[in-house]
Amino acid sequence: MKMIEAIIKPFKLDEVKDALVEIGVQGLTVTEVKGFGRQKGNREIYRGSEYTTEFVPKVKIQLFVTDPLVPRVIEAITRSAKTGSVGDGKIFVWDLNTAVRIRTGETGESAL
C-alpha cells in the first residue's frame, strides 16, 4: 500500500481527477494549499506598492492505493497535470503501514 501526494496547479484539478477515476482510483482528498518550490513566490507590484505573496496557490491531492496501481497513478497525474511550464508540481510516494475503515473495522488493502 502506498500513499501518493501530489501538488498541482489549481486549474488542473478536474483533469487530474478525471484521469485518476478513469484508471480506477476510488477516493481522493483535496486541499487548497500555498507554498513555493523552484517557481518561488510572486512579488506582486500594483501601483508602485509591493505586495509580497511569497507563496503560490496550489492544490494538494492525496490518495491511497495498492502497490500495483502506483505506476499508473503516477502516469495519470503526470499526463493530466502537465502544462510544460514552471510550477506544474510534484508527486510524492510513501509506504503505508496500515489502513482501517472506521465503519467496518476492515484493515489493510480492503480498507482502501
- Quick one: which of 18, 51, 94, 109 contacts another protein (CB under 8 A)? 51
Q: Which is nearer to another protein, 34 or 79 (CB)?
A: 34
- Quick one: which of 18, 22, 44, 75 contacts another protein (CB under 8 A)? 44
Half-sphere exposure of 103 (CA within 13 A, CB side): 3
Joined together, the cell numbers standing for residue 69 give 496501481
Binding mask 88-107 for another protein (x = CB under 8 A): --------------------
- Shortest distance in whole angstroms from residue 6 CB to another protein: 17
- Shortest distance in whole angstroms from residue 16 CB to another protein: 13
82 burial via Cβ count (<10 Å: 0-12, 13-18, 19+): middle
- Shortest distance in whole angstroms from residue 57 CB to another protein: 5
The pairing of strands 89-95 and 42-46 is: unpaired
DSSP code at position 55: S
41 burial via Cβ count (<10 Å: 0-12, 13-18, 19+): middle
What is the contact surface with another protein in residues (CB under 8 A)?
9-11, 14, 32-34, 42, 44, 46-47, 49, 51, 53, 56-57, 83, 85
